[in-house]
Amino acid sequence: METLIVDRPAPVAPTHREVLARSQRLADSAARALNDEALRVERDRMALATVHSVIAGDGWERAYANASKSAAWQLAGVIAKQAANRTHGFTQKLEA
């Protein structure tokens, strides 16, 4: 039998919609898991995508900026929850 060698197809870059959908999924799962580091990475990644979109002039900068803002808001919520868990006793009810 003869073995056929087939070249792999070239990878296809994801569309803007796919990038934004993936970003939203990652940010949502990181927020549910209270993973502040993953949210920071996603916020920064979308901010960088915003800059690239402005330079390229492809018209998607507002969508990327909104994704970055959304991740930043989720990050603020996660940090607030983490801070509430580390009160060091300052919010404990005093027994009189």
Domain membership of residue 74 (yes or no) is yes
Provide the residue range defining the domain that includes 78. 33-83
Phi (first) and psi of residue 21, to 5 degrees: -65, -40
Domain membership of residue 67 (yes or no) is yes
> Shortest CA distance to 39 belongs to which of 90, 81, 91, 78?
78
Domain membership of residue 18 (yes or no) is no
Domain membership of residue 95 (yes or no) is no
> Shortest CA distance to 64 belongs to which of 22, 13, 33?
22
Q: Tell the burial category of 80 from Cβ atoms under 10 Å away from its Cβ (0-12, 13-18, 19+).
A: exposed
Domain membership of residue 51 (yes or no) is yes
The per-residue pLDDT string of the chain (96 residues; one tens digit each, 9 = 90 and over) reads: 677 778 888 889 999 999 999 999 999 999 999 999 999 999 999 999 999 999 999 999 999 999 999 999 999 999 999 888 776 656 655 565
pLDDT of residue 84: 81
Report the domain count for the chain.
1
Domain membership of residue 94 (yes or no) is no
